[in-house]
Amino acid sequence: MIQKDLLHSVAAQISENYDKAEVPMYSDQLRLPNRDTVIQIIEKLQKIIFPAYFGGTTISQVTADTYVEYLLGDIFADLREQVELAFSNKVKDPAELAYKTDEAITGFFTNLPRIQELLMKDVAANYEGDPAAGSKEEVIFSYPGLYAIFVYRMAHQLYESGVPMIPRIMTEFAHSQTGIDINPGATIGEYFFIDHGTGIVVGETTIIGDHVKLYQGVTLGALSPRGGHKVVGKRHPTVGDNATIYSNASILGGETVIGANSVIGGNSFITSSVEKDTKASLDMPKMIYRVKKSDKK
């Protein structure tokens, strides 16, 4: 009986705290996309883009046209509903809501073949970039880097249409599966290669050229956003074509440009631009000191 009183009192306090919060806490006005549905859409898109790997035995029995068309139809209504939900917190006029939703959905499906072509190039890049890859098939079937790029490219298309929340839900799902956090707003060229990937962060206003390679732990981030939340504009770096950035390097700042063909060594901390055709690296030999065994604690 005492515990009933305890929980009753705790509930009252928690309930009061809802009222004090600056964000809606116990409001039924919020309309949020359904994370599970968004994830299912991603899984079906994977079947569409890589049928021989995730499409099961169906592909042996029907033409590719039929296979793809069915699956597109299978996700259409769900994706449309989620996009409309996501817009509906901001767009209250029904006609405008329908217009924006249709525009985003049409844009998404229209661009899917183009995105598919980009992803084929990413497959090639991820195979070429990793000597440990047994085959391109293995890359498609089990590489987290390619998976993160796939999800990013889908989310980016929705981001481009101004769809709120859903692009982020998508890339955060990939983030939780792979440890690779690519903001859906980033602009990324062709033949993008990510190796291992865990710990990679690519910020919202990053621009990445073609044939760029990123290793695990690389940050393409912002300089300290002092000055509050209102900082807008380009806050993340630009990386030129053919650049390679090794593990754990941090490259920060919206005006920082890594020139084409440059190589950034592992664990570098870069806050200003690096010219093209340059190798920038920590000069470890000068920095390390050696200790005799006896000195060690």
CB of 68 to a copy of itself, least distance (A): 4
Hey, how many other C-beta atoms are within 10 angstroms of the C-beta on 216? 18
Instruction: Report how far residue 201's alpha carbon sits from residue 208's, in angstroms, rounded to the nearest whole number.
Output: 13
Pick the stretch among 93-101, 127-135, 148-156 that binds a copy of itself (CB under 8 A): 127-135
Torsions phi, psi of 18, nearest 5? -55, -40
Residue choice 124, 160, 187, 273 for contact with a copy of itself (CB under 8 A): 124
Length reported for the chain: 297
Residue choice 43, 96, 98, 177 for contact with a copy of itself (CB under 8 A): 177
CB of 96 to a copy of itself, least distance (A): 19
Residue choice 67, 103, 160, 273 for contact with a copy of itself (CB under 8 A): 67
At 128, the amino acid letter reads E
- 205 with 234: CB under 8 angstroms? yes
98 counts as binding a copy of itself under rule CB under 8 A:
no
- Residues within window 15-54 making contact with a copy of itself, judged by CB under 8 A: 15-18, 20-28, 30, 32, 48-53
At 73, the amino acid letter reads G
Residue choice 41, 91, 123, 258 for contact with a copy of itself (CB under 8 A): 123
CB of 131 to a copy of itself, least distance (A): 5
119: β partners = none
Q: Where are the alpha helices (DSSP H) in 21-143?
A: 35-49, 51-54, 64-88, 94-129, 136-142
Is the CB of 26 or the CB of 96 nearer to a copy of itself?
26
- Listed residue (115, 114, 133, 113) closest to 124, CA to CA: 133
CB of 58 to a copy of itself, least distance (A): 5
207: β partners = 187, 238
CB of 128 to a copy of itself, least distance (A): 5
175 counts as binding a copy of itself under rule CB under 8 A:
yes
Pick the stretch among 61-69, 91-99, 148-156 that binds a copy of itself (CB under 8 A): 61-69
- Residues within window 182-211 making contact with a copy of itself, judged by CB under 8 A: 183, 185, 196, 198-199, 201, 203-204
- Residues within window 216-275 making contact with a copy of itself, judged by CB under 8 A: 216-217, 219, 221-222, 224-232, 235, 244, 246-250, 252, 261, 263, 265-272, 274-275
Instruction: Report how far residue 295's alpha carbon sits from residue 190's, in angstroms, rounded to the nearest whole number.
Output: 51
Q: Which helix (H) or strand (E) holds 286?
A: helix 284-287
Is the CB of 209 or the CB of 265 nearer to a copy of itself?
265
Residue choice 41, 129, 146, 239 for contact with a copy of itself (CB under 8 A): 129
Task: Name, in order, each residue with C-beta under 8 angstroms of 227's C-beta and a sequence gap of 6 or more.
Answer: none
Residue choice 37, 141, 187, 273 for contact with a copy of itself (CB under 8 A): 141
Instruction: Report how far residue 265's alpha carbon sits from residue 247's, in angstroms, rounded to the nearest whole number.
Output: 8
Task: Name, in order, each residue with C-beta under 8 angstroms of 82's C-beta and a sequence gap of 6 or more.
Answer: 33, 34, 37, 38, 41, 166
